[in-house]
Amino acid sequence: MSEKKSADRTFRSLALEGGVIVVSILLAFGLDALWDASKRDREAQLALVSLQDEFEANLEACVQVHDHHLDKAAHFARVFAMPLDEVAKMSDEDATDAYYAFCSPRSFDALLGTTNSVINTGTFSILQDADLRRELDIFLNLMEDTHEDIQNMLHFMRVLGEYEVTIGGPWGKSSPPAPRTPDTSYFRMLSGDKLAALLRDPQYTGRVQLYHGCAGWYCSELDRLAEQIRKVLQLITALRG
């Protein structure tokens, strides 16, 4: 009888110990899962913060480049519409400033480090948001679309520069050489008379207009890019809660 009771107690003890072990293992797995989920949440938040910083900087730069080209185009249009006798009376300073508006390309060079990391590495598996992935892909595609417009602007800048050399150019403001910067002291200020002569030359003004036409197309692409950046920022704000 005592041996039977002892065996029963041993069985119950083993069963209890086995249950404790099972519960401990399940608890450990549960804690690991919670820790992994918490770690993923932290990583996702860090990725979102980095993306937000990147896209806020991109939006500011995109708008600045867009406004630069619109301002230069408006400046050229004002000078082009002026009577030539008034242009001839402009000071060298004003005439040279107007000349700079004729062809002054700038490009939007987006920050893409975090975007590429999110799309091309395992970071996106943490975010797990299809809408964000789609909008980031659209942004990158729009960036690709701007490359042709940039190349067209640069092409007409070269065409214009080559023509200027044949008529006595280029012109510009003299500036002292800076470290690791070419000396531009050979530049000569443009007089009002010379600016008026340039505006009388249809071969010159035609090249300028072609350049600004390309810059106008580029501004249209920048408009689309700025709108897409705002969409991405709205999504990031919603994901961050």
User: Side chain identity at 116, as an amino acid letter?
Assistant: N
Closest CA to 157 of 223, 71, 84, 72: 72
Q: 99, 190 in Cβ contact below 8 A?
A: yes
> pLDDT digits over 14-32, tens only?
555 555 555 555 555 554 5
Neighbouring C-alpha atoms within 13 Å toward the C-beta of 196: 14
Mean pLDDT, residues 145-157 taken together? 93
User: pLDDT > 70: what percent of the chain?
Assistant: 73
- Residues sharing a CB contact under 8 Å with residue 104, sequence separation 6 or more, in sequence order: 68, 72
Instruction: Please give the angle made by the CA atoms of 49, 55 and 59, to the nearest 5 degrees.
Output: 145
Domain ranges of the chain: 54-240
Assessment of whether the complete model's pTM goes beyond 0.85: no
pLDDT category, 172, cuts 50, 70, 90?
A: confident
- Residue 53: the pLDDT is 93
pLDDT category, 114, cuts 50, 70, 90?
A: confident
Q: What is the DSSP letter of 191?
A: P
Min mean pLDDT across 69-73, 211-215, 237-241 is at: 237-241
| Predicted confidence (pLDDT) at residue 234 exceeds the cutoff of 80 | yes
| Predicted confidence (pLDDT) at residue 205 exceeds the cutoff of 90 | yes
| Predicted confidence (pLDDT) at residue 76 exceeds the cutoff of 90 | yes
> pLDDT digits over 31-42, tens only?
454 445 555 667
| Predicted confidence (pLDDT) at residue 132 exceeds the cutoff of 50 | yes
